[in-house]
Structures are given as structure tokens and as C-alpha cells.
Structure 1
Amino acid sequence: MSTSAAAGTLPGDLLRLGARMAAAATVLLLAPGADAQVLYFGANVRVCLSHLGHCKYRSIGEPGQVSSRKSGDWSLPVSHAAGEQSGRAGAGGSYGATTFDLTLSSSGSADTPGNFAAWGLADAHTYYADTVRIGSDVLPPGTPVTLRVENLIDIALKMSGDAQGSDTSTDADRYVWYRFTLWGPQGDRPVDMTWCTRASGDGLPDPDCKLRMKHQDHELYVKDVEMRVGDQFAVDVESATQASVYASCSTRGEDERCSAIAGTSVRGPQKLASHRITITPMTDGVQVIGISGHDWSQGAGQDAR
């Protein structure tokens, strides 16, 4: 059994959640320039461990953070075999920032004779949309302004595997995906970017993103956008990540021994992978406040956990 095959049997929770962001985009396209009150925030996490298919899943629908943890030890009832698995998935943030922290491990050993096999899957998904008005107490409506959009991504993806014995197998994989769209006042998209570390994993969106990130990446993307005082635009962000592991070993003879261990993580320099967005007016006397209450010119602080 492969890790991806096991993961593919699980419900497609993350894909269904993407429909909420599609609804936000539809509102903006149907009513360009209108008071489109688009406001969503959500974070979802899931950990599945063992061939028993046990999953722990949580979600929220408002600004904040959520985490899910599951760990356990199993002595499998197959002669002399034992295994251990642990997994943790965390997703959180606020408007302008999201964070991820995923770690997984599966290990086992067998002897005289015995067999062990276990897989794990952790995934997380965040999404938000906010409507922002360009305001000013000193400049009249229609005054041209320049907005500097900055998008900072900080990730570190690690995996390991080790097996000893004649019939052993380990596999580990991980994936990160980010999408950021800024909808202009006429339904245009001055910013429309998608980043990922590779083609999509099971249950994750957009297998064909063009901007590929390295497995250890610290990237700042900057773009200047021209608008006017009184304009209204929307920020639409979605991000997802997944990690999976598989470890197995088996023995047949009385004098055989085997062991296998696999591990993977999605983290960052501060133990959390992060994605942050700021929109800074380059014109004095201009404010960019969302209906969420978030000031988009201010850097969102990383959530402490």
C-alpha cells in the first residue's frame, strides 16, 4: 500500500471548503464597484493515523486559530511486531496572515516472524476574504494613489526515512500551496498569484500552479498597484498544506529482524510556516481598512502557540 493511495481514500474536506472562496469571488464579479460585503475567515486541520483510518478533524469559521493533535502507540496483533505513530497539524492566523505547523512520524519493528505497516496523513487549510476601502481625511475622492502589495512566504519542508531488513519500506512527502488574489474596483485582478512546492497532493487544489517554491524558502513578492481614493477592492487568500508518511517491515524467519521509520514536517524558521500580506499606501494621508477591521498597511504579527 502506498501513502498516496491511503490518503486518496479519505474524504475531500479541503476541496469542498474551497467553494466558499469561489462564492466570494462571484460576489465581486457580479457587483464591481458596489459595496460587496465579502468577509470570510476559516481554518481547518486534520490528522489521520494508522491503517485503522482514525482521523481527528477540527475547523473554525471566524478569525482565530485551531490545532489538532493525535498520538498513540500500537502493538499490532501479528506475531512479534510493534509500531508507534504521532501526528500534529496546526493552522491559524488572522486577516493578512496565516500559519501552519505539521509534523508526522510512523515507525515499527518486527521479529521472529512478524510484520508492521502504518501510514499517517496531516493536512491544513486556511482561507479568508476581506473588502477594503481606500480612504483619506485630506485627499478628495478620485485622487490617484499607489498601493504597495507585499507577500512574504516562509516555509521549511523536511522529511526522512530509514529502513533496515530484507522486506522494508518507507515513504514521506509534504506539500504547500498558496493563492492570493486582489480584486480591483471594476472586477479586475491586479494581483492574481499562486505558489506551490510541487504539483498538487491528494485532496489539495490547483495541481498546475506556475510559481514553484523551494523546499526551504523565504520569499518576498512586491507589486505596486494604482487606484484612487474612494475605490473599494477585495483581498482573497487561500492556502493549504499536506504531509504524509508510510512505514512497513516484515520478517519470516526465526532469526530475522527489521525496522522502519519515516517522518515529515511542514514548518518555518520560527517553527511555523507563514504567509503574510501587507498593502501599504505610498501616498501620504491614505488609509486601507477592511470591513474586518484589519488595517492592511500593518504587518500581521505571527500567532504565538
Structure 2
Amino acid sequence: MGERQMDGRADGELLAERFEEHRGHLRAVAYRMLGSLSEADDAVQEAWLRLSRSDTSDVRNLGGWLTTVTGRVCLDMLRSRRTRREEPMEAYETFVPDPVVGSLDRVDPEQEVLQADSVGLALLVVMETLEPAERLAFVLHDMFAVPFDDIAPVVGRSTAATRQLASRARRRVQGSTPAPDPDPTRQREAVDAFLAASRGGDFEALVSVLDPDVVLRADAGALAVGPGASKALRGRHQVAESAFMFRQFAQYARPVLVNGAVGLLTVVDGKALSVMGLTVVDGKITGMYILADEERLARLDLAGLVG
């Protein structure tokens, strides 16, 4: 290579360095495909293994090659997940994807790529309803600008058919997820109003900050016990009643960044009890996505946020 022949170890080191340049991007692709940070890491690792076993001497765009390989790995994982999933429908209705949590004041370098052009929890929930091939076509093309000609071989369809997959996914997504307010100040105002009403036990104030058709998903995991541990609710009065029941925890909630928007992290005695992603539209909360699964919370990177 160059003026001298590199030994096998040096070749391997160079390949590893080139892969690391793309790791953040690949993790962002896998997270949007899978909605799970741990599975996203598994997919990226598998992409590295496939790279290390492949002859890429003719690959001119390594980033593009790795993106489609990661997409193929994720597609296989989604299909495997579908075939083995045995949970009742109620379990899906309360499912909340892994949130990406960060400080409102600073973004951890490792999370920076995930937070850039963040996909909200509401969108990830809708994407769970897509067929695996639809999700792949939508994520790779609409979110990462991969040409349909490159996606088609991964899903085993023609370019035209692949374009249709993305189109169907796009219609479902656009019809199910209202565009959130991009202004962090307005988001913070709504979240602060929700917290103040909860802490003050003001039911009417709680109702006033919620959209009439607000949706709440609370995912406490498969091992959750007790009534209402995992739930799916719609409507401002039902959601306000639920929030009112748990108002004693509001004093432990603190605003954080959840998937690029203002959300809440509840910490008691140095332990995270829940992460809440919020969707704010026109000053009202339209979606609340609460992850309270102890095992999944323990796997999140909350360093510096739970102290």
C-alpha cells in the first residue's frame, strides 16, 4: 500500500480506523431501524464482522457500503423479531422504544450523531407498525438519502417496488405523527407547565396543558407488577388522571433532552425510575412516552444525569 507493503496487522488496523470513522453514522441508522440502542450496537458490530471478512478493494464508497450492510443486518433482525414475537397485542400497545437521553445544556459526543436530526419516540412507535422491508426503504432513503437502486438488492425487489415500499411507509408515518414544535423554548414552557401542575396537584392546570387527543404510553416491561404499571391511554382527562395519581414523583422529575426534544427524567436516590419523551404541538402536549422498565433503564447511558 503506497510505497511499502503493509503487513496483515497494519491492514487490519487501517480497516478498523476507517470503520470507526463511520461508527456513529451506522449506529444512527441501526437505531432508527430497530428502536433499540443495544440491538443497534449489535447490528453495528455485525457490520464490522462482515467488513473484516470481505474483500472491499473495489469499494469506492465505504460509507455507503457499510450503510447498506448495516441495513441488511437490521432487516434480518427485524424479520427474526417478527417471527419470534409472542407478546399479546396489549404489550405492543404499551411498547416504548429506547430513548436517547442527554443534558439540555450539553450533548455527549457519543450521542451527538444520534441526536442530530433526531427521530422522536412518537415516530419510532409508528415505525414499529411498518413491515421490515418498508421500514428499511423509508429509513435508508428518507432519512439517509440512500438511492433506491442501492436499497433494492437488500430487500430483493425492483427499484420501482422499493420506491413503493418507502412511499407506503411515508404515508403511514405522515398520517400518524403530527409535526412537533421545533422551538425548544416552547417545548420547555409546556413541560414546565406540566411539572408545575403535577407538583401542585392542580388537576385543571394539568388538563389545560394537554391536547384533547393526547396519547400516553407507559412501558414498565414484562416483569411489571401492580395495576396500571404498563398502560396505553388517550384523551386529556384520562391522561391527566393518570398523571395526578403519580404526582408524588413529580418532585423528582427533571427536564432533559429526550430524542432531541425536551422530556423528563425521574430520579430517586440516584436511581432512574423513568424517562418520559414528550411531543409538544402548538404549546400543548400531544404525546407522552414513558419508559419505566428497570432492566432497559439500567442499560441506558445516563451518566451525569442521575447524580
TM-score (norm 1): 0.22
Structure with bigger RCO (C-alpha 8 Å, 6+ apart): 1
Structure (1 or 2) with the greater strand fraction: 1
TM-score (norm 2): 0.22
Bigger radius of gyration, 1 or 2? 1
